[in-house]
A and B are shown apart, each in its own frame.
Chain A
Amino acid sequence: MFELFAYGDAGWGDEILRGLAITVQLAIVTLPVGLFLGFLAAFASLSGLRPLRALGFGYTTIMRGLPEILTLFVVYNGAGLLLNKGLRWWNPDAPPSDFSPFAAGVIALGMVFGAFAGEVLRGAFQSLDKGQVEAGRAIGMTDRQIFRRIQLPQLWRFALPGLGNLWINMLKDTALVSVIALDDLMRMTKVAVGVTKQPFTFYLLACLIYWAMCVLSEVVLAQMERRANRGIRRAV
């Protein structure tokens, strides 16, 4: 049994670890992309401009309503085709360019993360105490000062739990990239199953690895939340 997981040519330990590395890389690269999109979406939906608001609303609503796997396929299959068509149109002699599964994964997962994060951030903005904003106005602060000095520092505190959940979801969603042939943890597991014919063993192993990552994330997030709430709740 244990030789199955051995590290090296005979066992699957090294393949699965390599898959895990891809999974972690994918999640870590996606996070800033998703957060950036999330902030854009939140600002768009809170903006005073109607078209911008509509854009923000459309993006968050549609992306949240579509299965992640559909988004992934659209990006992976569609974007590659479009990219090449676009390039040809620009320069008929352009060499066909490459659109790697990794990039597709980052873009698709980032778009999904961004849509949800947009809502989390918008909600956090709106749950900031209006009284505190008024107190800022009442001493003559400008809107920018109010945003920077009062809203932004507290935004983090309100948004952190929601963003933490999104991170964990995204970590799990990376498993979907296995269907577009990125050699992540899930795909390496499938490969191992294909060869060893031991589906239960290997899928369970994969589950346990994902679980461990999520539990670890939860621990770290709880720590961050505690820090963010310093001084907010009573010590007792």
Chain B
Amino acid sequence: APASAQSLRLGTEGAYPPFNFIESNGEIAGFDVEIGLELCKRIGVECEVVAQDWDGIIPGLLANKYDFIIASMFITEDRKKQVDFTNPYYLAAMTHVAPKGAGITEFTNEALAGKVIGAQSGTTQADYVEATYPDADIRLYPTQDEVNLDMASGRIDLQVGDMLPMLDWTRKSDDGACCELAGEPITDPAFVGEGVGIAVRQEDDELREKLNAALAEIRADGTYKSINDKYFDVDVYTMK
């Protein structure tokens, strides 16, 4: 859509707490969504939130089902072939998560051969798992929720997820209490890239520029921080 439009549509997944999720009143909420809506306000347009399953989230953008994606998407080379990204709006790392007391300490293909490892399909985590542990039994789920669900019910021995949601899940939710983070954060730039960005169609340069400007603005005037603090203990923009 032309950046001059009066209203824009914001695409997100809605199954990735705390960044984006659906509340029991049916509203989509979360860090991504709040940031996204704030950016809209700064650009001066009304924004409508559209939920879209992860699998189809980039095709959905290309097919004009919404105008930009703010859904905790890592900026990667593969994705850059399809869409353009804004500057990162937060930095992230990935992490392993294991059931408490599982005693997994070594994270090599040999050590994890035969273990059941879960991740969300179509994510950088999935790519990481498939590339790093070819001899493990890898299970790929449609949503992160389902990975968590199955980890809690004990079907998987280990999962790789985004650092922040995993922190949130293991510490704040009831079912996440089963599990804990394991090993060091995964920061391999080959997978994590430059951080997490907002995706726009490649021809929508103007929109991308406006989003970048608005991002800088909310970062500068503290709005970003106040949203950040509602969700996280650390400043996710710098990860410090």
Contacts and interface: CB of A to CB of B under 8 A. Distances in A.
B154 interface: no
A181 B65 CA distance: 11
Interface residues of B, number: 30
Interface stretch (B51-59, B123-131, B222-230): B51-59
A191 to B, nearest CB: 5
Given A15-B26, A77-B56, A195-B24, A98 B64 contact: yes
Nearest to B144: A194
Given A179-B53, A181-B51, A197-B152, A80 B64 contact: yes
Given A96-B201, A100-B65, A194-B146, 20 more contacts: A8-B25, A15-B26, A76-B59, A77-B59, A80-B64, A81-B62, A96-B1, A98-B65, A99-B63, A99-B64, A180-B53, A181-B53, A181-B56, A193-B145, A193-B149, A194-B15, A195-B23, A195-B24, A197-B174, A197-B175
Interface in A36-72: none
A183 B201 CA distance: 25
Contacts of B175: 197
A207 to B, nearest CB: 18
Nearest to A188: B26
Nearest to A82: B63
B2 interface: yes
Leading 3 A-B pairs by shortest Cβ distance = A80-B63, A96-B64, A194-B145
25 contacts: A8-B25, A11-B24, A12-B24, A15-B26, A18-B26, A80-B63, A80-B64, A80-B65, A81-B59, A83-B63, A84-B62, A84-B63, A96-B1, A99-B63, A100-B65, A179-B53, A179-B55, A181-B56, A191-B15, A193-B145, A194-B15, A194-B22, A194-B143, A195-B21, A195-B22
A180 B54 CA distance: 10
A170 B13 CA distance: 27
Contact of B1 (A83, A95, A183, A190): A95
A12 B55 CA distance: 25
A98 B175 CA distance: 39
B22 A191 contact: yes
Contacts, number: 78
A1 interface: no
Contacts of A76: 56, 59, 63
Given A180-B56, A183-B51, A197-B152, A10 B24 contact: yes
B14 interface: yes
Interface residues of A, number: 35
Interface of B: 1-2, 14-15, 21-26, 51-53, 55-56, 59-60, 62-65, 142-143, 145-146, 149, 152, 174-175, 201
Contacts of B65: 80, 98-101
A100 B51 CA distance: 12
A192 B21 CA distance: 11
A10 B175 CA distance: 20
A151 to B, nearest CB: 43
Contacts of B62: 80-81, 84
A173 interface: no
A229 to B, nearest CB: 45
A218 interface: no
A97 interface: yes
Contact of A80 (B51, B53, B59, B149): B59
A18 B23 CA distance: 15
Nearest to B2: A95
Contacts of B152: 197
A225 interface: no
